[in-house]
Amino acid sequence: MKRILFAVLVVLSSCTVQKVNKSLTKSDVFAKGHLGFMLLDPEKDKALVEINSDKYFIPASNTKIFTFYTAYSILGDSLVNGLNYLEKGDSLIFWGTGDPSLLHPDLKNDKAIEFLKASDKKLYLLNNFDQVDAFGPGWSWNWYPYYYAAERSALPVYGDIVRFGKKKEEADFTVYPDRFKSAMEKSEAESARAYSFTRSHLENRFPYQFKTEAKAEEFESDIPFITSPELTKTMLEEATEKSINLISNPSYFDQEPQKLPTAPADSIYSQMMKISDNFLAEQLMFLVSDQLTNKLDIAEAIAYAKENLLSDLPDEPQWVDGSGLSAHNMFTPRSIVALLGKIREEVPLEKIKAYFPAGGESGTIKAWYKADAGQPAYIYAKTGTLSMANSLSGYLLTKSGKILHFSCMMNNYTIPSSELKTELQKVLYYIHDKY
């Protein structure tokens, strides 16, 4: 009887896999571009479905899975290093590590400020800003006024953005940090929106519109500001209410610094993964580089990860930035699935669920992949979206209790991404329901 039952289950599983494969390969939607897909049962170490799994695709923000794994492996889940510093007689010489948390409007970390305030020494900010390019390789210049391309920095302050916001009970909008209020300019251009905020291309001037009808709305708008060593020094002086000297002396970089723990890595991972925060992803890779070499070099951090953490992947990652904004990144579905397996082995499942967006519940897939009424989420996965690329990779929980690993990569589609998501949602729910 047991043998008969087992045979029936095998046949049912085989039928499910065949239907999944057909729903992907015979779909009129997926036929309009290039599709890569892999579904793995890790308990059996068996690929259930593979479609172009060995082909390279532009991953968009699926790159953040690589960033997360690298950061988790090097930085762990405790406090990140917020400042490097040396004490020389009556002087405190400090410089940035890439820590994104300092006075960030969401992370709200002020440990570095309190540390500098408490010091009885003269403060010197060592200029290492030239180690970091504001934009990553392959980024577009015209992304400058959008939050998804906030400038990278050796020592970010306020998340390198100005946050304009309004609560329903308030009559006017707020500006954080308020030092930028004087840089705001009422825009003469007509806009269909009740409110809009932007930035001039080459200077920290912020044209805006705020119409009467906006007063009834609640909103939040983040606009990047142009960073510089001088502006960072000034903002730190304002926050600490102390005089700070900006200095350049490369010989200090050859000395082993003391390190100041600041923000919980967990909080950075969670926000980076759930809302696909590009700025946090980039800065995490600088933190990795600082931890490894006391320098800020994403290319070196990636090279280290590829050699020491990712050499066992089926296909070498073509990886250039932390966020996935660059179209120079290219990964294969089977390498992403292999990486998901490594994460499962090294990261507790409850942490994975806390970091990854959950279908129907949180993050970038809150409106998609909803479970049946009263049931917990069945998809924990990272999205990826660029104009030429859509991806979803992560973990699928089936009704029978299995946890499957999957990666779906879709490139060169001219149809709306909502059509791709709708079609993929049908496929993933079927797997959840039947396998």
In a shared domain, residues 194 and 294: no
Mean pLDDT confidence for 238-242: 98
Q: What are phi and psi of 95, to 5 degrees?
A: -155, 165
**What does the pLDDT read at residue 168?**
84
Residue 154 within a domain: no
Asked whether residue 314 falls in the same domain as residue 215, the answer is no
CB 293 within 8 A of CB 322: no
Same domain, 295 and 190: no
Segment 19-44 mean pLDDT = 96
Query: Which of the four pLDDT bands, split at 50, 70 and 90, describes residue 3?
Result: low
Tell me whether residue 390 is in a domain.
yes
Q: In the numeric block, which tokens belong to residue 366? A: 């809150």
Helix ranges (H only) for 294-356 are: 298-308, 333-346, 349-355
- 294 within domain boundaries: yes
Q: Is the residue at 180 inside a domain?
A: yes
Q: What are 157-192's pLDDT values in tens digits?
A: 999 999 999 998 888 999 999 999 999 999 877 777
Lowest mean pLDDT among 39-48, 109-118, 167-176, 295-304: 167-176
Could you report the per-residue pLDDT of 87-98, keeping only the tens digit for each?
Answer: 999 999 999 999
User: Is it the case that residue 137 has pLDDT exceeding 70?
Assistant: yes
Alpha-carbon gap, residue 267 to 68, rounded angstroms: 12
Higher-pLDDT residue of 192 and 295 is: 295
Question: Would residue 217 count as lying in a domain?
Answer: yes
Question: Coil, helix or strand for 37?
Answer: strand
Which of 10-24, 39-53, 266-280, 348-362 comes out lowest in average pLDDT? Answer: 10-24
In a domain, 187, yes or no: yes
Same domain, 59 and 163: no
* Residue 428: domain span: 15-71+287-434
Shared domain check, 429 and 359: yes
> What does the pLDDT average to over 250-278?
97
Domain stops at, among 184, 202, 226: 226
Residue pair 117/241 in contact (Cβ under 8 Å)? The answer is yes
Across all residues in the chain, what is the average pLDDT? 95
Taking only the tens place, the pLDDT of each residue in 55-73 is: 999 999 999 999 999 999 9
The DSSP secondary-structure symbol of 102 reads B
- Look at residue 1 and tell me whether its pLDDT is greater than 70: no
**What pLDDT was estimated at residue 7?**
43
Q: Name the least confident of 9-18, 75-84, 312-321, 336-345.
A: 9-18
Which of 176, 204, 226 lies at the terminal end of a domain, its last residue?
226
Q: Where does a domain end: 226, 259, 276? A: 226
400 located within any domain: yes
Place of tokens 């988790």: 72
- Of 5, 17, 8, 71, residue with least CA distance to 427: 17
* pTM for this predicted structure: 0.95
| Kind and range of the H or E run holding 283 | helix 278-293
Q: Does residue 385 share a domain with residue 303?
A: yes
Q: Does the pLDDT value for residue 126 go beyond 70?
A: yes
The residue-averaged pLDDT of 409-422 equals 96
Residue 2: pLDDT band by 50, 70, 90 thresholds?
low
- Overall number of domains in the chain: 2
| Together in a domain, 200 and 333 | no
Residues 248-271 have a mean pLDDT of 97
Same structural domain, 294 and 420 = yes
Residue 264 CA to residue 109 CA, distance in Å, equals 9
Residue 67 belongs to a domain: yes
Residue 153, amino acid: S
pLDDT bracket for residue 5 (50, 70, 90): very low
